[in-house]
């Protein structure tokens, strides 16, 4: 998720935009500034607590006066008065503060950090420190329930675990000269309006150790843990002059120790979870839920050490990266289990806090503030408690079906021989806003969903249409609201009007009213540091008449081959009749419909397709790869800013075929060899630090030029199905000529890097070695006409749930994920370790 965190938004602005103060109806029992003051004892905020203050040697600001506390603890020893690496005492204290203040009577705060084995939480057993529910939410009162959670709160007992880094704030105090520094130290800071600045940031001096748990340790051992870049935002040290205000877009950029940390994964120098940052043994806190094995599997360990992070807001330390991993996992589960348009998180690091707002475009993060001394956190909870469901982020167009509606829907599912619902699942009513009218459909479990924290968040359902008594296909996603990309339903209409074969018919479609992302609206704000290019998304639903099966449900390898041949026909006709290029041929965009002789494949998921004129006029500097990593052509993986051409899609058909056969059709390769092929060919990925993107495709190119055995050291054979060997060899020979031609063409250009790859001018007459749709389709037809096809040779997953690192990109890519559940294809095997360094669980980094 690296590059999707937008901040630091001033906390006052965050509250004004997303949680405005409600009208006062009852007097406050406790002023907002005092709600969390009693937590000072737990977080060791006060100097009077003991002589071994965890902030020893750190300048602190009380009542506008800069002070310096001194530790009496012996160097190199830990503070024995507090639990090392534990934030557990903070949980109950925090909840007690909420309850004592009667701050938000409509909400229930529950310690769900460690409830034992009976609290399963989810299939990955993830439990946030504190879960927030509505008081009327069903379920056990003290258990983790992602289905009903309103927000989660993650707590850290040390400031250096803050995953973000705030730049200096533009105030008179941090622009002060050396001559006025002494005066500033004895007077309250003042902002541009003359109001006293809140004391909401930790100390500034980068020479001071920031590791709160290691008071007395040497400065050189701890300076890298400083969670905030020097100079600090608005505190002027009495012993050091203020630095000039840095450039807001470059402040705090830390040099990466791992050159491919594009999605916040654990950095390579964190060698052991459960050990403190100084190497002292500690009881694992919640941030140490990611094992050393998970860290070793993280792609962070494959990065070069010379690349600087382009995202200054994201702290490039082990603890910061690990915290981002944790909150990203929680975000993924909120999207996974609920129908939402956005949601909030609260992150507390000792005596500092941040508020986060997630939508499908990214995450808006507030600046850090001292929640025990300022009213902001209390004001947020009070405001959130008063918000209605839609303003809390609930999708109000999805509701529980009535008892009568649920019973009718189950009858429709049963009559259609669908397993879309069972007695233990709730039935939901989903509204589709079509131009003609609003229509309701009824769904239960998704047939497919991408568990990504950011991106389109596609969910596909077999839905019941109670008006017709039929089952239909409902796709719910957050489409890109950008120029050149139309609604998928509008694309289907054009394809259907022109008679394109092997595609579905649209029953209804439309954007969900008043549901769009807002994160991208703030990228040009004065406070916003650099992010990826964030796009606006709109919530969109489309209903198709065809309810099909994925290729892993095919009865034989011949059915798989025929289905790929069928979608190539659809692809060819769309390209030739309508000037539309699909750009996302993949295993999961091919659906089987019909039975017996009528069984054939249809091509779905046209929402990333583009018209040829729009591709011709697209600026190379904003161009990015589109597709699913494992099936993208070798040329696009090697050159991400290359123009997407029809040859790239045709090559994808070869990789779909090979990937499907290796996963579901027995060959001469053993499981360990199949895993190796997946790693070396399909999942090959490395970071190009010069140009700042991920590359791959070298092994794919070698498969064409040197053969499968020459690339992988394995000879591949399907001895029980000779036509398969024939087809693979024929396709490889066809694309071999294309690889040579394209390589020569690319090498002849003066390639300078991202944005400079030219739209090369093709010869007026297409060379014979450039593959055409008819060439590829003919090879499939020849194989289908050959004798020797086995009757039923498709088996269950041959490779299994093998956790590994994941590839990345800078573009609208879909990645296979790891540890897939029953509702998604088991063969997607990508690890959450690549998203933000988390444990090896299912995920997709970006759609």
What pLDDT was estimated at residue 14? Answer: 97
For the cut 60, the answer to whether the pLDDT of residue 842 exceeds it is no
Q: Which residue has the tokens 């004004």?
A: 16
Tell me the backbone φ, ψ of residue 372, rounded to 5 degrees: -80, -15
151 inside domain: yes
Which of 798, 824, 841 represents a domain boundary (last residue)? 798
Using a CB cutoff of 8 Å and minimum separation of 24, what contacts does 466-470 make?
A: 466/405, 466/408, 466/409, 466/412, 466/440, 466/442, 467/439, 469/412, 469/415, 470/412, 470/416
What pLDDT was estimated at residue 310? Answer: 73
What pLDDT was estimated at residue 328? Answer: 94
Q: What are 269-308's pLDDT values in tens digits?
A: 233 333 333 333 333 333 333 333 433 333 333 333 344 5
Listed residue (531, 94, 593) closest to 350, CA to CA: 94
Residue with the bigger pLDDT between 764 and 522: it is 522
Residue 551 CA: distances (Å) to CA of 475, 586, 619: 18, 11, 36
287 inside domain: no
Is the link from the previous residue into 109 a cis peptide, with omega within 30 of 0? no
**Residues of the chain above pLDDT 90, percent:** 46
Query: What percentage of the chain's residues is helix, strand, coil (to nearest 5)?
Result: 30, 15, 50
Residue with the bigger pLDDT between 672 and 266: it is 672
What pLDDT was estimated at residue 258? Answer: 29
**Cβ atoms < 10 Å from Cβ of 26:** 7
In total, the chain counts a number of residues equal to: 847
348 inside domain: yes
Domain count, the chain: 2
Q: What are 50-76's pLDDT values in tens digits?
A: 344 333 333 333 333 333 333 333 333
For the cut 50, the answer to whether the pLDDT of residue 535 exceeds it is yes
Q: Which of 114-118, 175-179, 676-680 has the lowest mean pLDDT?
A: 175-179
535 inside domain: no
**DSSP letter, residue 4:** -
Per-residue confidence band for 23, with pLDDT thresholds at 50, 70 and 90? confident
827 inside domain: no
283 and 272 Cβ atoms separated by less than 8 Å = no
Residue with the bigger pLDDT between 329 and 769: it is 329
Cα-only R_g, the chain? 28
Cα(729)–Cα(731) distance, rounded to whole angstroms?
6
- Cα 49 to chain centroid, rounded: 42
Residue with the bigger pLDDT between 18 and 124: it is 18
752 and 746 Cβ atoms separated by less than 8 Å = no
For the cut 70, the answer to whether the pLDDT of residue 410 exceeds it is yes
Kind plus residue range of the DSSP H or E element containing 737: helix 722-747
Cα(798)–Cα(659) distance, rounded to whole angstroms?
11
Please give the order of strands across the beta sheet that includes 151-156: 5-9, 362-366, 352-359, 343-349, 151-156, 130-134, 107-111
What pLDDT was estimated at residue 799? Answer: 87
825 inside domain: no
635 and 742 Cβ atoms separated by less than 8 Å = yes
Cα(349)–Cα(825) distance, rounded to whole angstroms?
38
Residue with the bigger pLDDT between 833 and 500: it is 500
Cα(440)–Cα(428) distance, rounded to whole angstroms?
10
Q: Both tokens of residue 12?
A: 């006052």
Cα(21)–Cα(384) distance, rounded to whole angstroms?
9
Cα(51)–Cα(135) distance, rounded to whole angstroms?
42
What pLDDT was estimated at residue 738? Answer: 81
Domain boundaries, position 206: 7-247+329-392
Per-residue confidence band for 401, with pLDDT thresholds at 50, 70 and 90? very high
Residue with the bigger pLDDT between 313 and 124: it is 313
Q: How large is the average pLDDT for residues 109-133?
A: 76
Cα(64)–Cα(817) distance, rounded to whole angstroms?
51
6 and 365 Cβ atoms separated by less than 8 Å = yes
Which of 351, 367, 392 represents a domain boundary (last residue)? 392
218 inside domain: yes
Residue 17 CA: distances (Å) to CA of 22, 51, 391, 644: 13, 43, 11, 40
SS in 3 state form for 633-657?
CHHHHHCCCCCCCHHHHHHHHHHHH
**DSSP letter, residue 494:** H
Q: Which of 184-188, 502-506, 762-766 has the lowest mean pLDDT?
A: 184-188
**Average pLDDT, rounded, for the chain:** 73
Q: How large is the average pLDDT for residues 298-321?
A: 64
What pLDDT was estimated at residue 7? Answer: 94
Q: What are 735-760's pLDDT values in tens digits?
A: 988 887 777 666 554 344 433 334 44
For the cut 60, the answer to whether the pLDDT of residue 639 exceeds it is yes
Per-residue confidence band for 613, with pLDDT thresholds at 50, 70 and 90? confident
Q: Which residues contact 698 (CB under 8 A, 6 or more apart)?
A: 634, 638, 684
Tell me the backbone φ, ψ of residue 580, rounded to 5 degrees: -120, 135
- Which of helix, strand or coil describes residue 353? strand
Question: Which pairing describes strands 812-814 and 626-628: parallel, antiparallel, or unpaired?
Answer: parallel
b or e along 736-772 (b: 16 or more beta carbons within 10 Å of the residue's beta carbon)?
A: bebbebbeeebeeeeeeebeebeeeeeeeeeeeebbe
Cα(213)–Cα(84) distance, rounded to whole angstroms?
7
Q: Could you tell me the CATH number of the domain that includes residue 579?
A: 1.10.510.10
Q: What are 163-194's pLDDT values in tens digits?
A: 999 988 654 444 343 334 333 333 333 333 33
Q: What are 698-741's pLDDT values in tens digits?
A: 999 999 998 888 888 889 999 999 999 999 999 999 998 888 77
Listed residue (598, 600, 590) closest to 559, CA to CA: 600
841 and 832 Cβ atoms separated by less than 8 Å = yes
285 inside domain: no
What pLDDT was estimated at residue 122? Answer: 62
SS in 3 state form for 128-154?
CCEEEEECCCCCCCCCCCCCCCCEEEE
What pLDDT was estimated at residue 452? Answer: 84
For the cut 90, the answer to whether the pLDDT of residue 218 exceeds it is no
For the cut 60, the answer to whether the pLDDT of residue 252 exceeds it is no
**DSSP letter, residue 753:** S
For 406, counting Cβ atoms within 10 Å of its Cβ (0-12 exposed, 13-18 middle, 19+ buried), the class is: buried
605 and 587 Cβ atoms separated by less than 8 Å = no
């Amino acid at each position: 998720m690296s590059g999707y965190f937008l901040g630091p938004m001033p906390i006052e602005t965050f509250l004004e935009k997303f949680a405005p103060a409600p009208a006062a109806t009852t007097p406050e029992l406790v002023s907002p500034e005092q709600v969390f003051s009693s937590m000072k004892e737990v977080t060791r905020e006060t100097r009077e607590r003991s002589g071994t203050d965890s902030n020893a040697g750190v300048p602190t600001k009380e009542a506008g006066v800069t002070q310096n506390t001194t530790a009496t603890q012996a160097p190199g020893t830990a503070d024995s008065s507090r639990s090392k690496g534990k934030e557990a005492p903070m949980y109950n204290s925090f909840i007690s503060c909420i309850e004592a203040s009667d701050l938000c009577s409509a909400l229930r705060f529950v310690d769900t950090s460690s409830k034992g084995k009976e609290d399963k939480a989810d299939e990955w057993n993830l439990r946030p420190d504190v879960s927030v529910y509505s008081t009327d939410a069903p379920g056990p009162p003290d258990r983790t329930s992602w289905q009903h959670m309103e927000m989660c709160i993650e707590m850290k007992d040390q400031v250096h675990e803050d995953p973000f880094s705030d730049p200096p704030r533009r105030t008179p105090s941090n622009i002060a000269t050396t001559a006025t520094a002494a005066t500033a130290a004895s007077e309250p800071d003042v902002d541009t309006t003359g109001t006293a600045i809140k004391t909401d940031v930790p100390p500034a001096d980068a020479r001071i150790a920031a590791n709160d748990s290691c008071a007395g340790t040497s400065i050189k051992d701890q300076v890298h843990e400083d969670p905030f870049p020097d100079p600090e935002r608005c505190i002027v040290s009495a012993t050091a002059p203020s630095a000039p205000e840095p450039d807001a877009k470059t402040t705090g950029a830390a040099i990466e120790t791992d050159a491919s940390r594009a999605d916040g994964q654990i950095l390579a120098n964190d060698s052991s979870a459960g050990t403190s940052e100084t190497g002292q043994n500690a009881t694992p806190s919640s941030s140490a839920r990611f094992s050393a094995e998970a860290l070793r599997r993280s792609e962070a360990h494959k990065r070069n050490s010379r690349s600087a992070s382009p995202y200054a807001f994201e702290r490039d330390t082990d603890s910061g990266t690990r915290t981002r991993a944790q909150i990203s996992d929680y975000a993924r589960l909120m999207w996974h289990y609920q129908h939402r348009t956005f949601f909030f998180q609260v992150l507390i690091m000792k005596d500092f806090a941040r508020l986060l707002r997630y939508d499908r475009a990214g995450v808006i993060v507030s600046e850090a503030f001292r929640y025990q001394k300022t009213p902001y956190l209390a004001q947020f909870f009070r405001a959130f408690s008063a918000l209605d469901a839609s303003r809390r982020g609930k999708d109000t167009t999805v509701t529980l079906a009535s008892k009568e509606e649920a019973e009718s829907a189950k009858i429709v599912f049963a009559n259609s021989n669908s397993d879309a619902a069972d007695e233990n699942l709730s039935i939901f009513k989903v509204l589709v806003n079509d131009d003609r009218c609003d229509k309701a459909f009824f769904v239960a479990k998704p047939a497919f969903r991408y568990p990504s924290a950011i991106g389109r968040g596609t969910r596909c359902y077999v839905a019941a249409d109670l008006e017709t008594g039929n089952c239909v296909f409902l796709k719910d996603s957050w489409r890109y609201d950008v120029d050149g990309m139309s609604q998928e339903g509008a694309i289907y209409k054009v394809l259907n009007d022109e008679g394109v074969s092997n595609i579905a018919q649209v029953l209804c479609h439309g954007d969900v009213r008043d549901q769009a992302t807002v994160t991208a609206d703030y990228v040009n704000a004065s406070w916003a540091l650099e992010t990826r290019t964030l796009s606006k998304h709109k919530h969109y639903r489309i209903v198709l008449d065809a309810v099909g099966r994925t290729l892993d449900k095919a009865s034989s390898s011949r059915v798989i081959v025929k289905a790929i041949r069928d979608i190539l026909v659809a692809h060819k006709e769309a390209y030739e009749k309508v000037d539309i290029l699909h750009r996302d041929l993949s295993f999961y965009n091919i659906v089987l419909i019909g039975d017996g002789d009528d069984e054939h494949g249809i091509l779905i998921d046209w929402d990333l397709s583009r018209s040829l004129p729009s591709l011709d006029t697209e600026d190379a500097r904003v161009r990015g790869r589109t597709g699913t990593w494992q099936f993208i052509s070798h040329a696009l993986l090697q050159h991400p800013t290359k123009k997407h051409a029809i040859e790239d899609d045709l090559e994808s058909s070869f990789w779909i075929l090979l990937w499907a056969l290796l996963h579901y059709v027995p060959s001469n390769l053993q499981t360990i060899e199949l895993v190796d092929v997946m790693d070396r060919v399909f999942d090959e990925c490395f970071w190009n630090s010069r140009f700042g993107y991920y590359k791959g495709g070298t092994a794919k190119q070698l498969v064409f030029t040197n053969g499968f055995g020459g690339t992988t050291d394995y000879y591949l054979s399907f001895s029980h199905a000779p036509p398969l060997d024939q087809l693979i060899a024929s396709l490889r020979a066809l694309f071999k000529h294309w690889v040579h031609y394209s390589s020569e063409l690319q090498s002849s250009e003066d390639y300078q890097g991202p944005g400079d790859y030219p739209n090369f001018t093709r010869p007026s007459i297409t060379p014979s070695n450039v593959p055409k749709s008819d060439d590829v389709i003919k090879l499939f037809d020849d194989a289908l006409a050959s004798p020797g096809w086995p009757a039923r040779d498709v088996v269950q997953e041959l490779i299994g749930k093998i956790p590994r690192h994941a590839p990345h990109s800078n573009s609208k890519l879909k990645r296979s994920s790891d540890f897939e559940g029953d509702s998604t294809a088991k063969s997607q095997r990508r690890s959450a370790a690549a998203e933000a360094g988390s444990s090896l669980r299912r995920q997709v980094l970006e759609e």
